[in-house]
Structure 1
Amino acid sequence: MPSAKELATLAENADEEPGADPRLRLLGAYVAQSLRPAAGAWERCAGTPEAEQLFQAFLGREAVEGQRPLLVVRPWLGGLAVRAGLDEAPESRPARAKGLFFLRTGPEPPGPNSLRGAVVCGDLPAAPLEHLAALFSEVVIPVLANEKNRLDWPHMVCQDVRRHAHTLQCDLLVILEQVKGKTLLPLPIGSEKMEFVDFQSETDLDSIDKSVIYAIESAVVRWSHQVQVVLKKESSQPLLENPTPKVELEFWKSRYEDLEYIYNQLRTIKVRGMAGLLDKLQSSYFPAFKAMFSDVEAALTEAQDIHVHLVPLHCHLETLESVEFPEVKSRLQPLLHVVCLIWATCKCYRSPGRLTVLLQEICNLLIQQASNYLSPEDLLRSEIEESQRKLRVVSDTLSFFKQVFQDRRENLHTYFKENQEVKEWDFQSSLVFVRLDGFLERLHVVEDLLKTALDLHKLGKLEFSGIRGNALSQQAQQLFEEFQEMYGVFSEASYDCLDPQSTEFEKDVTEFNQRVEDLDRRLGTIFIQAFDDTPGLEHAFKVCRSVAGATLVLSTLILIRGWMSNPAYED
């Protein structure tokens, strides 16, 4: 914190500037000493309109009428940022950068020369949990462990305070490890003596405090709950978020590392000493400990085996994500080849449920790559021919993936050794392709839409000759303008037209098709009138060529009906 002399100097400097609030310079002195920002950073930060409103609300007399106001200053983008609370930290805050807080303590606003008595200031660590855990481990626990600090405390109070402090410390350490993806099994109070206990000596066993035994048994119960949470995790849990295969690989890697971390903790001298004590005392919690250890050991073996077999998939997935989508097709067969090898060689992964999850995630990856290639926001705004070409590439690639899957499924026996029992893929293909099929169906809807739009775009160039040629051409032009208005709905929409869950797009397509049917009928009427005006067969064929350009089924049917009923063309 700045000294009284420094604050006084700042206040004098602030008084020299007309209209300047000296209290801002006092706040700036704390910021400068704590955060050490670049020269002029505080002045630029405090001069923004947003910061001025926050400072006015913080320093005013009415600031403490409700909840006590809090200001937080953090480094941000080479300067400083001021926020009105802890939850409103800048999104681009540099990692591992501490902040500073100011908190009003009373109704009286701070004076121009000092903030004491009105504002409390303190540092906000960059990693609050690590900071709190270190505070407990290095300050609180040693202070409570020192008998000189609790000479006048009753014995029960000492035990209760130490127990609560130890519990809080354990909770903090468990949370810190959870952030890293690891499961910490906190040791109970008294476990540090377990490695020195001789379990063959009756004297040592009798000397152990009953509270220590109770703490060990309670720890076994807590560990069992923690281990069960880890064991019950399945890679299929995030499927609702449409994950890619990398999530599957990362799941088994982290599961293997976490179980290995738990296993190593259970193999330490202290934990083995605790287990030996429970065994000697014939505690009812010893069988639970043995069962937990066996479950961890079996799960670790399984996770390690699966992780080792899934690693070869990583390079194929990296390639699939890095190449352009038209090049994906040639990479699909090698990818499924590796999947078949995993099925044949990894007994732990030879489960329909687990393989279905992996194949669904591969489908999710293909859908993701296809969407990026098609660019849904531009698909209905770009040139129609180019969009159609891209749609054909995507449809062909995804259909080829389904064909390769079926081919590998039929030849799965070739991946097993002669003396090995063949395990077929006895699950339904629809379970694998449920989302891919929905995506392909949406592609067909978009493709039909583009085909209709391409046909109707030719209305703008449609011209008729004859007596009523000019009037018919104007009617066709009017239909073209109506079509442009109808199709403009899709180019202006904000939804993802490739998302099978988008009901707005389906609604717009249904309405568009209904209006297109009406345009078809009106266009057919125009063509019939054009045929009626034709003086001979040569002119009739010219109209037919115009119809061929339109390629609208209903219009053609109406046209043929009108032509066949015209007496001028009877034999």
Structure 2
Amino acid sequence: MADELDIADLRVYFMADYLIKSLRLRSDKWTKMIQIEDQNRTIIDFCDKAQPTLIVFHVNPAGNLVVSTSFPTSLKSKACFFAKKLPEPLQRDSKEKVASALNFGDLSNAALEQLQIYVNDVIRPLLTTPQNHEEWPDVVSTDLQKHVSDLQSQLQVVTSLVKGKILLPYPKYNPTTTTTTTTTNGTTTNPTGYIRTNDTTQTNTKNGDVIDLKLVHAVESVVIEWSHQIRQVLKKDSAQPLLDGLDPLPSTEIEFWKSKRSHLESISEQLNDPRVTKMGELLNKSNSSYYPSFLQIQNDVHHALEEAQDIDTHLRPLSGHFESLETTDFLEAKHLFKPMFHVIELVYNNCQHYATASRIVVLLQEICNLVMKQASENLEPMELFKGEVDEALRKIDETFESLKKFHDEYELTRNKMD
């Protein structure tokens, strides 16, 4: 507790007390920090001068409490900030006056998630509640709600990408009222669970259904966004590192297909959600020009997932062979080549989606990169020149023998695959 610190200045006491409680610090952490002249001076200047107007406390990787006048670029744990409401010295009369002069709170180490919660729980309700903009023109209100929804969707997508996942945002449309879907009594069809009554932007279909055109537009906009997201996943090619002039190892190929399979399974699961099915039904009923695109997205994901699952399943047995080759001394790796190429032959003969020259060539190039890497490390120039000449020549000869063994097994497997 801050009482243990014997702090006379109420302003400093207020901040120390909040920090110790919020960050669950031992009092000696504070004592150690203020013993550093620069840290102590920052706190005093914040209290006694108009500038700085912000200080941030956090625990650094070494486990020490530190203070700065700006937000840190990265955090390993929670931080606390104190910001002046006005650029003036803090009054020291009472803790209540200190608290009223400051905006203070906690900063999560997961900044994107905190921002997403802030937008969802604070910004959106504030800006989309009708009572807050009764005097605004309808065009302004509608445009504002659209931009808030776009911001929510973008935050969801970015947050999921940071976590290594693909999230397809759903249309955000008039979330202030809800009802069930019905079509025969003049109620607006709305598959997301939201409804607008007395809406002038409605149309009747041939079977008497009433379709909300604004909702159709919202769904169409989301389909366009989905298309861009999914295309980014589908167009990724395991050969790209080679095309970029890099020297990837075969483990890169295995990780690529494992990751692509995971992303496509996640996307497929989202596309099979009942809400998405209702969105498709809405596009179909409204004769939307985006309905074929919606179907094409589902079809492309289905075929791409089949391919990724097939390739990932067949490539996984090779990971053990590559790991053994990478961790074994190259001069002792001759016996590893034959079983490795045998499994490659089995993959080529049994994996329908990998039995093409473009696929297998990428894998073979990456295997060659690994072999060259192992051979180069075995023939490190400084080590060769340090030793005896005869020993160096013997090592070179044995390395060439291992390379020849690799080449022979490669040619044997190639002939079988032809």
Deviation at 1:318, TM superposition (A): 2.7
| CA deviation profile, 1:168-224 (whole Å, cap 9, x unmatched) | 111111112222333222111349989835599959865332211111222222222
Query: What SS does the aligned partner of 1:306 have?
Result: helix
Q: Which residue is 1:101 aligned to?
A: 81
Distance 1:205 1:221 in 2: 28
Match runs of 1:504-523 below 5 Å? none
Alpha-carbon contact 2:248-2:366 (below 8 Å) kept: yes
| Structure 1 residue 76 corresponds to structure 2 residue 79 | no
Identify which range, 297-306 or 75-84, moves more after superposition: 75-84
Q: Which residue is 1:33 aligned to?
A: 21
Whichever residue aligns with residue 213 of structure 2, its letter is K
Deviation at 1:116, TM superposition (A): 5.4
Alpha-carbon contact 1:197-1:204 (below 8 Å) kept: no
Identify which range, 108-117 or 355-364, moves more after superposition: 108-117
Q: Which residue is 1:481 aligned to?
A: none
Match runs of 1:80-479 below 5 Å? 80-83=65-68, 85-89=70-74, 93=76, 97-103=77-83, 107-110=87-90, 120-141=103-124, 155-190=138-173, 196-197=181-182, 202=205, 207-239=210-242, 240-370=245-375, 379=383, 382-383=386-387, 391-412=396-417, 424=418
| CA deviation profile, 1:420-468 (whole Å, cap 9, x unmatched) | xxxx3xxxxxxxxxxxxxxxxxxxxxxxxxxxxxxxxxxxxxxxxxxxx
Deviation at 1:396, TM superposition (A): 3.6
Alpha-carbon contact 1:186-1:219 (below 8 Å) kept: yes
Distance 1:109 1:381 in 2: 70
| CA deviation profile, 1:132-164 (whole Å, cap 9, x unmatched) | 223344455456666666666654444333322
Distance 1:305 1:384 in 2: 51
Identify which range, 196-205 or 331-340, moves more after superposition: 196-205
> Aligned in 2, Cα 1:35/1:312: closer, same or farther, shift over 3 Å?
same
Alpha-carbon contact 1:188-1:216 (below 8 Å) kept: yes
Identify which range, 111-120 or 319-328, moves more after superposition: 111-120
> Aligned in 2, Cα 1:394/1:81: closer, same or farther, shift over 3 Å?
farther
Distance 2:183 2:58 in 1: 57
Distance 2:179 2:265 in 1: 23
Q: Which runs of 5+ in 1 are unaligned?
A: 16-20, 413-423, 425-571
Deviation at 1:390, TM superposition (A): 5.0
Alpha-carbon contact 1:190-1:212 (below 8 Å) kept: yes
Q: Which residue is 1:428 aligned to?
A: none
Alpha-carbon contact 1:195-1:269 (below 8 Å) kept: no
| Alpha-carbon RMSD | 3.8
Alpha-carbon contact 1:224-1:292 (below 8 Å) kept: yes
Deviation at 1:234, TM superposition (A): 0.7
> Aligned in 2, Cα 1:24/1:152: closer, same or farther, shift over 3 Å?
same
Q: TM-score, normalised by structure 2?
A: 0.78
Deviation at 1:79, TM superposition (A): 3.5
> Aligned in 2, Cα 1:77/1:10: closer, same or farther, shift over 3 Å?
same
Alpha-carbon contact 1:72-1:86 (below 8 Å) kept: no
Whichever residue aligns with residue 58 of structure 2, its letter is V
Distance 1:123 1:197 in 2: 46
| CA deviation profile, 1:304-348 (whole Å, cap 9, x unmatched) | 111111111122223223434433222122112211221122221
Larger helix proportion of the pair = 1
Whichever residue aligns with residue 196 of structure 1, its letter is T
Deviation at 1:371, TM superposition (A): 5.4
Distance 1:191 1:372 in 2: 63
Query: What SS does the aligned partner of 2:280 have?
Result: helix
State the structure with bigger RCO (CA 8 A, min sep 6), 1 or 2: 2
Distance 2:42 2:332 in 1: 55
Distance 1:370 1:162 in 2: 62
Alpha-carbon contact 1:42-1:80 (below 8 Å) kept: yes
Alpha-carbon contact 1:194-1:274 (below 8 Å) kept: no
> Aligned in 2, Cα 1:140/1:52: closer, same or farther, shift over 3 Å?
closer
Query: What SS does the aligned partner of 2:309 have?
Result: helix
Distance 1:204 1:161 in 2: 35
Query: What SS does the aligned partner of 2:104 have?
Result: strand
Distance 1:316 1:10 in 2: 61
Alpha-carbon contact 1:71-1:83 (below 8 Å) kept: yes
Whichever residue aligns with residue 215 of structure 1, its letter is A
Whichever residue aligns with residue 99 of structure 1, its letter is A
Distance 1:398 1:102 in 2: 65
Q: TM-score, normalised by structure 1?
A: 0.59
Give the fraction of aligned pairs with identical amino acids, expressed as a percent: 35
Larger Rg: 1
Q: Which residue is 1:482 aligned to?
A: none
Query: What SS does the aligned partner of 1:73 have?
Result: strand
> Aligned in 2, Cα 1:269/1:384: closer, same or farther, shift over 3 Å?
same
Deviation at 1:367, TM superposition (A): 4.0
> Aligned in 2, Cα 1:31/1:308: closer, same or farther, shift over 3 Å?
same
Query: What SS does the aligned partner of 1:224 have?
Result: helix
Query: What SS does the aligned partner of 1:183 have?
Result: coil
Q: Which runs of 5+ in 2 are unaligned?
A: 190-203
